[in-house]
Structure 1
Amino acid sequence: MAKGSRQAAWEFFGAELKRRREDAGFTQVELGMRVFVSGGYIGQFEQAIRKPQLDVAQRIDEALQTDGIFERMWRKLIKDQTYTEYFAHAAELEQLATEICEYAPAVIPGLLQTREYARAMFLAGNPLATDEYIEELIKGRMDRARVLTDAARPVYWAVLHETVLRIPVGGAAVMAHQLDHIAAMMRERTVLVQVLPFSQGAHPAMGKMMWVMEFEDAPPTVYTEGVFSGSLLDEPTLVKRIRASYDHIRAAALSPEAALTMIESAAEDYRQCASSP
């Protein structure tokens, strides 16, 4: 399903939700109470600004007694989209966020990746895939990255563990270009990047990727990812604990200025390695 067609389908989902809600005599707030989200969320679902998670679609069916129609529409739309099911909703929220704070323990974050780095990562995870499939994955990642060049781009603040700089994904030339790309974005003040050096030793959430998103009119949400799995967390107490862990990591990391020096130095090391006979 093309991007425009998929958006039109979500708009139909929202229009149908509005019609069925009004037929049932519920306000947005009243329906929200029954499915454990805010009335504002219901309004965003109806306008196709935000997409519900599966469990919310199922509760909407229960509240409106719609015999599973919203669950079936949700499953069809998720099945036809670019991203894996566990990441799809996070990708949608990413485009709505006003601030994104990310900790990367081992891999360059997707929003900062070059095409060559992304290709090396996708090939490593899909060694028998066709070129067409790999290109489709790369395109999805590059499309996501455009959020950082939009006029209304979110504040983006990443902390990279030094491990990220030292793993030669794709080889020395690819890494040199990748780190140059990050350095350029830092110098252009498009992103804020820090590096957590090896010398800091153990730290909170060691080895665990975390991604905190803030929104203008909705509570913050955390995304974490494991092997072929991911979780969106919005329970306030848990989000607060994860945000505190991120703040501790950020406090222990090098300043952006020192991080830029380390990143540029690592890029130069890779460049020299790539040019060596």
Structure 2
Amino acid sequence: MADSTEPEPSDSLKTFGAVLQAFRERAGLTQEALALKMRYSPSLVASVEQGRRLPSPEFVERAEQALDAFGVLRKAAKSLARKPGLASWFRRWAHLEAQAIALDTYEPRVVPGLLQTKAYAKVLFEGEVPPLSDEEIEVKLAARLERQRLLWERPNTQFSFILEEHLFHHQVGGPEVTRELIDHILEVMELRNVQVQIMPLSRGLHAGLNGPLQLAETPDHQWLAYCEGQEHGQFITDMKTISVLQRRYGKLRAQALTPEDSKGLLSRLRGAL
């Protein structure tokens, strides 16, 4: 699974952040005022200025327009460093994910990265083939945990997840790791902008048997989709295909347990561990 929209701090990211800050101050704007003009959160603007967040092409373009930066920000963005471990075929979706106003995720293979605990993610990274070095595991682990801040930093983004019940019966990492994972998901489910539904084993045939899928709505209300395989990902813009995937996801939501019933199932599974 791909890891994060967050890059490691680097000279190029810090330089871009400093340039953005200089143009913002030149315009006499606070971070909050610039965020309002760009239609982003103040925390995102702050993260980019501090060199902690890789700005999307859309972010760069909006900053250019909001600050009348004479093309300087566009030029500076071309040299930005990317985060080690972020698969090249995932980068376009990662940029979109960080800006989306709605994200729908169906994942039948593992618990999605946004919902993983540190222990669960570490087990997955340690089991990768070919094996990763300790340093690579640490980089990927830090990136994945940082990425989860999206759930809290974007309270106006609607996150929907549909997870298969069998993911918890597998007990990846053992009972203790699974208990912690369930506790974490139950905690995340208390967020108003997050909805988690479980597809029970008893459902049998359902609309997700063709594999995982993700849907995202952009700030401009355009829907896009992404489907990930073992060593590649497919970014989908074709409206006909997206329509099919939206209908499948809608049926999946109807076939899965309600959020309240999903909480009950997760609590029972935890008690049985």
What TM-score do the two structures reach when normalised by structure 2? 0.71
Residue 41 of structure 2 corresponds to which residue in structure 1? none
**Match of residue 118, structure 1, among 115, 121, 125:** 121
In the alignment of these two chains, the number of paired residues is: 220
Relative distance call for 1:261 and 1:83 in structure 2 (3 A) is: same
Residues 45-194 of structure 1: matches in 2 within 5 Å? 46-47=61-62, 81-126=84-129, 128-194=131-197
**CA displacement at 1:111 relative to structure 2:** 0.3
Rounded Cα–Cα distance in structure 2 between residues aligned with 1:197 and 1:129: 33
Letter in structure 2 aligned against 1:220? W
**CA displacement at 1:187 relative to structure 2:** 2.8
Residue 34 of structure 2 corresponds to which residue in structure 1? none
Residue 37 of structure 1 corresponds to which residue in structure 2? none
The answer to whether the Cα contact below 8 Å between 2:13 and 2:81 also exists between their aligned partners in 1 is no
Structure with more relative contact order (C-alpha pairs < 8 Å, separation 6 or more): 2
More helix by share: 1
What is the RMSD of the two structures over their aligned residues, measured on CA atoms? 2.9
Relative distance call for 1:43 and 1:186 in structure 2 (3 A) is: closer
**Match of residue 247, structure 2, among 240, 244, 247:** 244
**Match of residue 208, structure 1, among 207, 211, 226:** 211
What TM-score do the two structures reach when normalised by structure 1? 0.70
Residues 248-263 of structure 1: matches in 2 within 5 Å? 248-263=251-266
What SS does structure 2 have at the residue aligned with 1:232? Answer: strand
**CA displacement at 1:253 relative to structure 2:** 0.6
The answer to whether the Cα contact below 8 Å between 2:114 and 2:147 also exists between their aligned partners in 1 is yes
What SS does structure 2 have at the residue aligned with 1:194? Answer: strand
| Consecutive unaligned residues in structure 2, runs of 5 or more | 1-6, 18-55, 65-74
Compare 245-254 and 199-208 and name the one that shifted more. Answer: 199-208
| Consecutive unaligned residues in structure 1, runs of 5 or more | 12-40, 50-69, 271-277
Letter in structure 2 aligned against 1:128? P
Compare 94-103 and 200-209 and name the one that shifted more. Answer: 200-209
**CA displacement at 1:106 relative to structure 2:** 2.2
Percent identity among equivalent residues?
28
**Match of residue 225, structure 1, among 220, 225, 228:** 228
Relative distance call for 1:117 and 1:80 in structure 2 (3 A) is: closer
Rounded Cα–Cα distance in structure 2 between residues aligned with 1:181 and 1:42: 33
Residue 71 of structure 2 corresponds to which residue in structure 1? none
| 1:112-137 Cα shifts (integer Å, max 9, x gaps) | 00100000111111563222210100
